[in-house]
Structure 1
Amino acid sequence: MKNILLIGGSYGIGLEIAKQMSETSHVIIASRTEQNIPSNIKHITFDVSKDDISKLELPDTLDGFVYCPGSMNLKPFKMLSTEAFQKDMDINFMALVKTVHGILPQLKKAEQASLVFFSTVAVKVGMPFHTSVAAAKGAIEGFAKALAAEYAPSFRVNVIAPSLTDTPLAGKLLNNDEKKDKMGDRHPLKRVGTETDIANAAIFLLSEKSSWMTGQVVGVDGGISTLNSN
């Protein structure tokens, strides 16, 4: 049985990934809270912004890794301080780098581990009020491609770039049906994403079905990054 580690994952997309993967794999969630986590999934209390991943009791081999922490700090550039940019960069990117450093030995022991990171459609498509999060997620995309090149074929690295998805992180933007309909209409497929939409893509990238994919940024975005249907 494969060992899959999720950083974050106690709610939203990460929890949906964990639930699906737990049917066929040994899943570990390292996060600050463990509410909502089913009993068949191991939980380790871990704060990615403060704690050292190498100090955790993890399996000797990790076959899959998913980094879930992120931010959605959508404000006009003139209202974003440099400290806000740094905070977004720290949680989205620097903590990811630190974590991957810490689990390299376990990843390299796998036959071919799969790493899955998250970006945003706003890296590919310039969007107002996304300067900070797009900068941080853009760093993830560049890092993932370089990492994939450096460690192929030892392990694979791919990125999912969603558009707006109905998760707790997007709660303020989607807290009523009118907002959901308005945001959904911006997409060619006329709805916002669901946790399952994004989780399904992650499950695919973690599986052998994607074994000839690495260094890719996969848009799961209702078509908004490539189609003009208005």
Structure 2
Amino acid sequence: MKKNILLIGGSSGIGRKIAENLKKEHEILVASRNGNDLPNVINHFEFDVMKDDIGTLDLPEKIDAFIYCPGSIDLKPFKMLKPENFEKEMHLNFFGLVKSVHGILDKLKATDQASLIFFSTVAVKMGMPFHTSVAAAKGAVEGFAKSLAAEYAPNFRVNVIAPSLTQTPLAAKLLNSEEKKKKMENRHPLKRVGTSEDIAKLAEFLISDESSWMTGQVIGLDGGLSTLNVN
């Protein structure tokens, strides 16, 4: 069945891969700051989650799936971070998400069972140096997702994907040499970093009716990093 799928921030990286993979089977709506030459079959809305009101967009009356993609990788020692850094992370990763869901609530309720997908990080579960600001924001996302899933079951299914390092434009600085890439690969039991396709495939499953009995889950897609010790 063809679904209306709304992605916030789906013009690059993981979001773009999800949009491109699903565009033949579903109606894809991407709300982001720029279209980045998205295929014509993808409906693009100019939208800045930090400033704009999603209620002003000309969206369909029914949204079957919602994916919130904005994120950041601001890895610094805690002593170098100011409260403003934490506020910025929270606004992008968490408050932008809350405002977006609140703004389309009626459209999500209009479908039989909406699927919502948010993104976290392996650092919430593991605890990693230099991740205090991003892990705090993503931890809020995980708590919000579980509570939302409980409150709106069975009408909404809400799940979170928690990746480890993934090869995307956002992570370019961490993987911009063979030496860095090899070091990051060796940290993972499966000896590679993730790809946008890895994440997109899981998102596609969570959108589909094949995952109709799955909600309130934080799914580690991290090459085994969060659960295996093989070194």
TM-based fold match above 0.5: yes
Q: Is the 8 A contact 1:219 1:225 kept in 2?
A: yes
**Divergent runs of 4+, >6 A:** none
CA RMSD of aligned residues (A): 0.6
1:28 aligns to what? 29
What TM-score do the two structures reach when normalised by structure 1? Answer: 0.99
Counterparts in 2 of 1:129-140, with a 5 A limit? 129-140=130-141
SS for the counterpart of 2:194 is coil
Which one is further off, 120-129 or 31-40? Answer: 31-40
SS for the counterpart of 1:156 is strand
Which one is further off, 185-194 or 172-181? Answer: 172-181
Q: Is the 8 A contact 1:21 1:27 kept in 2?
A: yes
1:56 aligns to what? 57
For residues 40-98 of structure 1, give each alpha carbon's deviation from its aligned partner in whole angstroms, at most 9, with x where no partner exists: 10101001110100111000000000000011110000000000000000000001000
1:174 aligns to what? 175
Structure 1: give runs of 5+ residues left out of the alignment. Answer: none
Q: Are positions 1:82 and 2:80 aligned together?
A: no
1:36 CA displacement = 3.1
Structure 2: give runs of 5+ residues left out of the alignment. Answer: none
Using the alignment, how far apart are the partners of 1:28 and 1:176 within structure 2? 35
Q: Is the 8 A contact 1:16 1:199 kept in 2?
A: yes
1:102 aligns to what? 103
Counterparts in 2 of 1:199-218, with a 5 A limit? 199-218=200-219
Q: Are positions 1:222 and 2:223 aligned together?
A: yes
SS for the counterpart of 1:172 is helix
1:41 aligns to what? 42
SS for the counterpart of 2:72 is coil
Which one is further off, 30-39 or 96-105? Answer: 30-39
Q: Is the 8 A contact 1:116 1:159 kept in 2?
A: yes
Using the alignment, how far apart are the partners of 1:63 and 1:34 within structure 2? 22
Task: Tell me the number of residue pairs that the alignment of Structure 1 and Structure 2 aligns.
Answer: 230
1:159 aligns to what? 160
Q: Percent identity?
A: 67
